[in-house]
Amino acid sequence: MTKKELIGKMAEASGITKVQAEKALNAFIDSVSSTLKSGEKVTLVGFGTFQVSERAKRQGINPRTKTPITIPARKSPKFVPGKALKELVDK
């Protein structure tokens, strides 16, 4: 499903216009993004949790030259589905 299709489904399900649904979706995305950027997590009970995962610095191998390289530490967004969502998808 694309963002455009999601906006259409949101508008239809809630009885609002597509423009309003797009504003709501963009506000949701911006809110989650800014919360994750500040290091906090977003929990939607029954749906899941958006959180920041930290990856430690580690050693890797350059596949072209086969020489060892150091992969720097980094932060990455992560989504952990809630129990209700897992059960819904599993059926």
Are 76 and 51 contacting, i.e. CB atoms less than 8 angstroms apart?
A: no
Read off the pTM.
Answer: 0.79
* H-assigned helices in the chain: 3-14, 18-37, 83-90
CB atoms within 10 A of CB 21: 19
DSSP secondary structure letters along 33-47? HHHHHTT--EEETTT
CA distance 45 to 42: 10
The confidence score (pLDDT) of residue 91 equals: 83
CA distance 85 to 88: 5
Domain ranges of the chain: 3-90
Domain boundaries 3-90, CATH class:
few secondary structures
Q: What is the mean pLDDT of each run of 10 residues along the chain (91 residues)?
A: 96 96 97 96 95 95 94 95 94 83
